[in-house]
Amino acid sequence: MPTYNGENRRDVLIRQIREAIAEDNRKEVIERLLKGRQQRVRNGHFPGGNAPYGYRLRKKRLIPHLTEAAVVREIIRLSRCGTVTNEIVSMLNAQGAKRRNGTPWTARQVRAILSRRELYERGRIHYGHVNGESERLILIRMCDA
């Protein structure tokens, strides 16, 4: 509004109406994106964002990454044997295993892997309160245990 005058009631009213319309459009876009992501999860696909450790994104789909999947299997195997998080970190770093970004493992990242066991063991994806499953996302079969 190049001729906007804050003292003019009509200019202020028009600006407020435009702001309300823009806010409604913004909320509509957010709602459509949310519904689209929820539907992707229901169909057993990844909702978006960074791929979890153990996978890579290819054409908006998660595919297992062999090197990372082996590290995930080792972390979960050690956890099942009763090894505590800090010991797992020490073992991984002693073996020379690196995270995706090339840095050493920390307890936080190991806990993040362990918190995604449903994904790694059963192929279950969560997005908010919406759940989905995909057999091809399973990295750890029960026979691997």
CATH number at residue 68: 3.90.1750.20
**How many angstroms separate the CA atoms of 68 and 55, rounded?**
7
> Does some domain include residue 52?
yes
| Residue where the block lists tokens 């709602």 | 31
Spell out the per-residue pLDDT of the chain, length 145, in tens.
678 888 889 999 999 999 999 999 999 999 999 999 999 899 988 898 899 999 999 988 899 999 999 999 999 999 999 999 999 999 999 999 999 999 999 999 999 999 999 999 999 998 889 999 988 889 887 655 4
* Range of the structural domain that residue 118 is part of: 43-144
pLDDT at res. 1: 63
Angle between helices 66-80 and 85-94 (to 10 degrees): 140
pLDDT at res. 136: 87
**How many angstroms separate the CA atoms of 71 and 85, rounded?**
14
**How many angstroms separate the CA atoms of 40 and 47, rounded?**
6
